[in-house]
Structure 1
Amino acid sequence: MSVAIVLFTGDLRLHDHPPLRAALAAADEVVPLFVADQAIEQAGFLVPNRAAFLADCLADLDAGLRRRGGRLVLRHGDVVEEVCRVAAQTDAREVHLAAGPSGYAHRREQRLRDALAAGGGPQRRLVVHDGVAHVVAPGEVTPGSKDHFAVFTPYLRQWSGQALRAVGAAPRVVRVPDGVQGEPLPERSRVAGVSPGLARGGEDAARARLSAWLRDGLDAYEERHDDMAGDATSRLSPHLHFGTLSPVECVRRARERGGAGAEAFVRQVAWRDFHHQVLAARPQCATEDYRSRGDRWRGAGDGDGAADDVAAWREGRTGYPIVDAAMRQLAHEGWMHNRGRLLAASFLAKTLYVDWRVGARHFLDLLVDGDVANNQLNWQWVAGTGTDTRPNRVLNPLLQARRYDPDGAYVRRWVPELRDVVGRPVHEPWRLPEEQRAALDYPAPIAELSASLDRFRRARGRG
């Protein structure tokens, strides 16, 4: 009996899974393998919210495989060592893996390829599949002689013109060789420090959410996606991050429905691919500026109050209700409305003039969809050190609040101290009479907007 291995990473699904389909076509039996990567754990990337969501995803994947006669094999340790160990135990001749965009993913692929070829026994090969985690794989479209697009609009034009592969069905049967041993699956209930409102993970939950979104939310998305109180976004980003949904299927199904809402939604999926192709070409952008602006960010040790400002920002106690509401949503749900992400990031990086990496790390500590490419490059876009063509724009939290939360419903939901404030003062509580203000237990603003704008402009050489 011939055997192949499918190494699951950020593709925890059975529907539209090219590596699984190829392995089933190439061998009589398949080992569905997930390795809890010790390197990711040691790097601090497996934070509680993502660990809990991952536990849901693995349990759901295992249940789906068992309904098809198979099971998920879980191992802990070094990915390359564990894959090679399973390959030797089962005499597997092929290992199938979805391509990843990060520098770490590239190094993992090369290490695995080299280790399989140098095993000393039967020849084994690694088969890496593009287009599993993306609609258009990194490097598939490029501008002339360059290796990636640095501006979104021309990228979107080429991205939109690419033919999409067919969406594959989930397999009916998965036969796993006898005797291959796995470890017990993790359980969400055993993960400490999880945000109380964290959503449920897994392919079943993902597919149910996608269907409901296409039916009830997509048509109005163009008009309502920035309505912070309306919560009118898809909330599919955690499922795209963990691969419980195929981005190709999402785009195909949205386009089949059509309309302005579908176009707007597909554009957001394109942004995801855009950032992944930037990171694939420039992996150092996970920690370094894509375009340095010569910033000398305020630091915690400068004696300028930066540490206190960062603490207030993290806790949702800046005195700017729209920013605080966004930060409290993040703490409670492990997720934040996209407009809230922009506002919170602009406030830290430009109003407070604190290094974007401080904010990016905090987001990665909490976001269930915490993705290195999208998180780091979105932070750089806001900070003006990334791909934004207007690097010195500053989002005014008051103007943004009036536009995207005009009735204050989002603020009242997440900042209970202001729940009973009527009208416009919910966004500017310092304008309330002193007696009312004192009764709120809500802080005064930690920064004055015009002075902060002047500081930022001087720092960027525009003052």
Structure 2
Amino acid sequence: MPEGIALALLTCDLRLHDSPVLHAAAAHRGAVPVFVLDDAIHGGGLAPSNRSAFLADCLSDLDASLRRIGSRLVVLRGDTATETARLAQRVGASAVHTAAAVSGYGQRREARLHSALGDRLTVHDSVTTTVAPGEVLPAGKDHYAVFGAYFRQWSLIPRREPLPVPRRLTTPDSARGLDPAEVRELLTAGGGAAPGLAPGGETAARRRLRAWLGTGLDGYPEQQDDLAGDHTSRLSPYLHFGCLSATELAHLTASGGSPGADAFLRQLAWRDFNHQLLAARPDAARHDYRGRGDHWRHAPAELDAWRRGRTGYPVVDAAMRQLLHEGWMHNRARMFTASFLTKTLYQDWRAGADHFNRHLIDADVANNQLNWQWVAGTGTDTRPNRVLNPLRQAQRFDQDGDYVRRWVPELAEVAGSAVHRPWLLPEEQRAALDYPEPIVDLNDGLARFRAARGI
């Protein structure tokens, strides 16, 4: 056992199961699990209320789990590098373990930690992904830009075995931070969280994981796009905060013998693909990965209608209202709502990404920004000018209209697939609905987009 005390600086790995950072710290004589409410992320009201409330659950649950093995979570507030260095000095830590970062901010934070801690800092890869960025590379390049080629290599990479939960951690009394009640108050003081927000934390994550592996995975290939059926795993928020290990999830998926394993592993690979892309091109968080010469329209009233779920296209509005109510949205719906904004309304993908970032509990820089770029045609999609027609999407993935009726109560009495085209209802019935006319003709929007892209 290494001598001295080690800090386990947790960032997006708020769990005990398969935690390389905690596992490394536990090998020392003493270990201090620490999380910093960084002012650059959580201060000044910058953190979206949904993710703040979810994070409060995550930290509370992690603290309770650590106390069961003799430790506790030390939560600090301020600059991560400064506060970590101060704590290391206070407890006499000889080592600090943390997870590798991919975003521009994360990379800058890591550089400051190196500067403050020197060779005491150890950075662990494959903590938030199954394959670390840069672990698979095309010849002569620093990242893969085509998912298919990446996925073929990703599928061949041997993965480490998931790590067990530490049996016991010994945390010195000198390691003190904010009171747990104070942490929750800091994160939830502003209120405003979505009423249907899922509970955060590793306990909730593992409960959902067991249910998914037990009843959801088998039918995933056929049912993943069913909007009303909602057969997705809903594990993405827990992966985002690291309440669940992507490596463990891939291991359990692949070893379970389910017919849905390959399709679900492909989704995990997409997540890793975006992380390796952002690690190589952190500027893609705000700048086009592949510019198309777009001159986006500035139409605030249309953008506001899209945000509020009042576009006049029921399947789009249902998805946007689900987002406002749950802080989550079905993956298929994310694609066609993004296509509607960027291609039918021809508005800047950054406006849409910012709205999603404000409300989604699973919005990380890699997946939120780069998936938006993929849909907008400024990212890695090999068909950058594809347009997802919302009526066709509704016909395919909400054929009977149940998804729309669930989220657009104004249309709850409209039977069957007629709910997707309320403008075709008899005039008397249409007049009784408190629902807007379409804000754009789909053919006009398509023609405008094609003209703008010169196609």
TM over 0.5: yes
Which of 309, 315, 327 does residue 316 from structure 1 map onto? 309
**In structure 2, C-alpha distance between the alignment counterparts of 1:59 and 1:263, rounded to whole Å:** 34
1:321-367 deviations in Å (ceiling 9; x for gaps): 00000000000000000011001100000000000000000000000
CA distance in 1, matches of 2:257, 2:176: 47
The equivalent residue for 2:422 is: 429
Secondary structure of 1:74's counterpart equals strand
Partner of 1:240: 239
Q: Give the corresponding residue for 1:302.
A: none
Amino acid at match of 2:341: L
1:73 lines up with 2:74 in the alignment: yes
Q: Which residue matches 1:4?
A: 6
State the shift of 1:260 in Å.
3.3
Q: How many residues align?
A: 449
1:7 and 1:95 in contact (8 A); partners too = yes
2:412 to 419, 433, 436: 419
Partner of 2:124: 129
Structure 1 residues 43 and 378: alpha-carbon distance in aligned structure 2, compared to 1, 3 A threshold: farther
**TM-score normalised per structure 2:** 0.97
Specify which of 376, 380, 384 is matched with residue 383 of structure 1: 376
Q: Which residue identity is paired with 1:379? A: W
Separation of aligned partners in 2, 1:329 and 1:133: 27
Q: Which runs of 5+ in 1 are unaligned?
A: 118-123, 300-305
Deviation at 1:114, TM superposition (A): 1.1
SS of corresponding position for 1:93: strand
Contact 1:34 1:74 in 2 (8 A): yes
Q: Secondary structure at 2:303's aligned position in 1?
A: helix
Counterpart CA distance in 1 for 2:223 and 2:411 is 24
Partner of 1:212: 211
- Using the alignment, how far apart are the partners of 2:286 and 2:179 within structure 1? 35
Cα deviation, residue 423, structure 1: 2.3
Q: Distance in 2 between matches of 1:295 and 1:134?
A: 33
CA distance in 2, matches of 1:162, 1:83: 34
| Contact 2:8–2:25, Cα closer than 8 Å, also in 1 | yes
Shift of 1:398: 0.3
The offset of 1:413, in angstroms, is 0.2
Give the Å deviation of 1:208. Answer: 0.9
Secondary structure of the equivalent of 1:10?
coil
Secondary structure, counterpart of 2:139 in structure 1: coil
Task: Report runs of 4+ in structure 1 exceeding 3 Å deviation.
Answer: 42-45, 188-191
1:176 to 171, 189, 196: 171
SS in 2 for 1:260: coil
SS at match of 1:444: coil
Read off the aligned partner of 2:168 and give its amino acid letter: V
Does residue 363 (structure 1) correspond to residue 366 (structure 2)? The answer is: no
Report the 3-state secondary structure (helix = DSSP H, G, I; strand = E; otherwise coil) of the residue aligned with 2:106. Answer: helix
1:153 aligns with 2:154: no
| Alpha-carbon shift at residue 190 of structure 1 (Å) | 4.1
The offset of 1:35, in angstroms, is: 0.4
**What one-letter code is carried by the residue in structure 1 that aligns with 2:85?**
C
- For 1:35, what is the secondary structure of its paired residue? strand
1:280-308: CA deviation from partner (whole Å, max 9, x where unpaired)? 00000000000000000001xxxxxx111
Question: Quick check: 188-197 or 200-209, which moved more?
Answer: 188-197
Q: Which residue of 2 aligns with 1:281?
A: 280
Superposition pairs of residues 261-276 of structure 1, within 5 angstroms: 261-276=260-275
Q: Which residue of 1 aligns with 2:319?
A: 326
Q: Which residue of 2 aligns with 1:48?
A: 49
Unaligned runs of at least 5 residues, structure 2: none
Q: State the TM-score, normalizing by the size of structure 1.
A: 0.95
Q: How does 1:341-352 map onto structure 2 within 5 Å?
A: 341-352=334-345
RMSD over aligned CA atoms reads: 1.1
Q: Quick check: 2:49–2:188 contact (8 Å CA) kept in 1?
A: no
| Identity across matched positions, percent | 61
